[in-house]
Amino acid sequence: MAEKVLMKGNEAVAEAAIMAGCRNFFGYPITPQTEVAAYMAKRMPKIGGTYLQAESELAAINMVIGAASTGARAMTSSSSPGISLKSEGISYMAGMDLPALILNVQRGGPGLGGIQPSQSDYFQATRAIGHGDFHLLVFAPSTVQEMVDTTFLAYDLADKYRMPALMLLDGILGQMMEPVEFKESHKAHMDDKPWAVGTACVKHEKNIINSLYLQPEQLEERNFERFKRYETIKKTEQRCEEYLTDDADVIVVAYGASARIARNAVRAARANGLKVGMIRPITLWPFPEKAIKDAAKTAKAFVCVELSMGQMIDDVKLAIECSRPVTLVNHTGGVVMTPAEVLTGIEKAYGGVK
Amino acid sequence: MQTVFQKPKALTDVTMHYCPGCTHGIIHRLVAEVLDELNITEKTIGIAPVGCSVLAYNYFNCDFIQAAHGRAPAVATGAKRANPDSVIFTYQGDGDLAAIGTAETVHAATRGENITVIFVNNGIYGMTGGQMAPTSIPGMVTQTTPYGRDVKTAGYPVRICEMLATLTGTTYAERVSVDCVKNVLAAKKAIKKAFQNQLDGKGFSIVEVMSTCPTNWGLDPVKALDWARENMLTYYPLGVYKDNE
Amino acid sequence: MARVTFNEDECKGCGLCVNACPKKVLALSTGKINKKGYRPAESVHPENCIGCAFCAIMCPDTVITVEK
């Protein structure tokens, strides 16, 4: 029988990771995600897992590399500037085809920025997490329950496609408390990893976990093969929620915390007789291009709601090939928009016509 | 007649790419002999660095992970914590361990990670063409100290064994050399102890192996051994700096 | 009785073995060049070999096998 518990976002993800089979957490304190580390520090020793407070976020991602190479499920968590520190390690993980879970509880930036929430690491997560041609699976849940559900999905897809997964949260989602249900379906699906090193995995001759390919033809081939996997993912793993979009003239696109705010504005707009809907991406990579492109067939305008200077808006424009006007309602630096501000943006998109 | 010396099983038949007379080859062989003698090759994971020995994974018959520059001790930490039954060793040069990787080195030691670190110190960055290393000695001419290392602007070399010996977490730290047969045999003993310590769960062991770089020192291999003996070993005395039995 | 044999094509002619041998058994070949273009080490006074394996201990490329 499923139990409903009131949990803080950061802690719920940690618990979900443990239930998904993660026994290796390497982290470092940084606001607003330190609760993940603190929770892991309490839970891991009790279940024979490893909690290690690394000397830096940079060391932590390299510890994830070590653990993941042995076939274990590993995790690290940080916030914006700390994720920048992991950049090198994440690029290596992509080149080594290593699965693991990385959590970014975004805060204001750039630089040391602020400790209040933002969504200004969208570009980093989907385009520029590290050098070289590669992508991460990027997930953007918007409720604590969805954060739990997504953790299992993230690990399963990371293992299936042999790549790192990043869950893009923000300070609001990390800190908020909501009821969470841990269901029967929340199980660890752990398959054999014939490529792994060490003694804890399938018996093997000799495995090398490596990203160095000095022969250009070989390195190109590795990239081509990886992008074939990415193509499969783009075809089959796009996820989003469509809310009141069937007859919508204006579509709001928002993820995570800003989607929660936008949903209120969409309801208010509908109450005022405006035909508005929302597409809420749940995967940011692969971006839900199909749903957005389909919506552009009938919708007349799009409004992006972001806690940034406008980053996801580029992907919306690309998805619809700039066929419709796309506008932005935004705040950044830790300032959070109100539903009223979003409603104003929606009305503007209508040309001010009610 | 019996064979009294042959290539250890833990070494592959892949031709090593190192320069003629480069002591990496000797040190690789010593590690491989130890893996054979302790019969641990099958459960060993080597962590390769960035540097001349980046391709170390091609030369050993055990599992390997190729780590980012300096990060090997952190990768080793993650692997050992996740898979304590395996034997984990890092193999790092002076740039990898004593420059970019200093934090990872110090913290793996102070945490007392049960791993084995092989530190190859030749006072120069070989792979990138002979630049100054943190372990280059004062006055040493390199590509980035063309007038000799000036301590006023480039500071003093770092003595890793001495430094790590001050940490409670360090179990065993010994500096050895491969400049002559006697020292090579002593180096092997130290390396074997560093692996045995891990098998016995004794904690962090590091063997600093004084080495040569004939190509970038601009000396033939035999003269390079002499130069190491006369100049490097005076600055980096051989010996045991820590040994928590 | 002792003998050293060389995997000639793997030798890089570094000379560490020649320098290490206490019995002056070895020298870098003067007439021969191997597949890599190096002058490989060889036994020029095999009768003096005592099988100490000093040469093999110093060889970075594990080119030498020692029999006794």
- Subunits next to B (3 or more Cβ pairs <8 Å) are A, C
Question: β-strand A24-27 against A74-78: which pairing, if any?
Answer: parallel
Is A190 at the interface with chain B, CB within 8 A?
no
Q: Which two structure tokens, joined as six digits, stand for A218?
A: 């070989």
Q: Reply yes or no on domain C3-67 having CATH 3.30.70.20.
A: yes
Sheet containing A137-139: which strands, arranged edge to edge? A50-53, A24-27, A74-78, A100-106, A164-170, A137-139, A283-285
| Among A291, A1, A306, A248, CA closest to A123 | A306
Domain boundaries, chain C: 3-67
Segment (H or E) for A313: helix A312-319
Residue C1 pLDDT grade (very low, low, confident, very high; cuts 50, 70, 90): confident
What is the CATH architecture assignment of A3-236?
Answer: 3-Layer(aba) Sandwich (3.40)
Structure tokens at A274: 């405006």
Mean pLDDT of A343-348: 97
Please give the interface size between B and C, counted as residue pairs whose CB atoms are below 8 Å apart: 75
- Measured between CA atoms, the residue of chain A closest to residue B57 is A208
| C59/B21 Cβ within 8 A | no
Pairing of strands A240-243, A276-281: antiparallel
Does the structure show a pLDDT above 60 at A354?
no
d(CA B34, CA B226): 27
Structural domain total, chain B: 1
pLDDT beyond 50 at A353:
no
Contacts of A65 in chain B (CB under 8 A): 65, 67, 71, 74-75, 78
Instruction: Give the domain extent around B70.
Output: 24-243
Residue A351 has pLDDT above 90, yes or no: no
Q: Is residue B8 part of a domain?
A: no
Whether C56 sits inside 8 A of B5 (CB atoms) is yes
Start and end residues for every CATH 3.40.50.970 domain found in chain A: 3-236
Report ipTM for this prediction. Answer: 0.97
Categorize the per-residue pLDDT at A2 as very low, low, confident or very high, splitting at 50, 70 and 90: low
CATH of domain A241-349: 3.40.50.920
The closest CB to that of B45, out of A24, A59, A198, belongs to: A198
Q: Do B6 and C66 touch (CB under 8 A)?
A: yes
Question: CA of A248 to nearest chain B CA: how many angstroms apart?
Answer: 50
pLDDT at residue A91 greater than cutoff 90:
yes
- For chain C, the 3-state helix, strand and coil shares in percent, each to the nearest 5, are 25, 20, 55
| A47 close to B (CB below 8 A) | no
Look up the pTM and report it.
0.96
Instruction: Give dist(CA A269, CA A255) in Å, integer.
Output: 19
The interface residues of chain B toward chain C in range 190-219, judged by CB-CB distance below 8 A, are: 214
- Measured from the Cβ of residue B4, the count of other Cβ atoms closer than 10 Å reads 14
Which positions of chain B have pLDDT values less than 70?
none
Q: Residue A3's pLDDT is what?
A: 80
Q: pLDDT tens digits for A256-268?
A: 999 999 999 999 9
pLDDT at A75 over 50: yes
First to last CA, chain C: 6
Which has the closest alpha carbon to A120: A307, A314, A323, A334? Answer: A307
Tokens 């940011």 found at: A284
Domain with residue B130: its CATH number is 3.40.50.970
Nearest to B104 among A59, A74, A206 (CB): A59
pLDDT 10s digits, A169-212? 999 999 999 999 999 888 898 999 999 999 999 999 999 999 99
Chain C residues with CB under 8 Å of B214 CB are 14
Give pLDDT, residue A1: 52
B181 inside domain: yes
Contact B63 A206 (CB under 8 A): yes
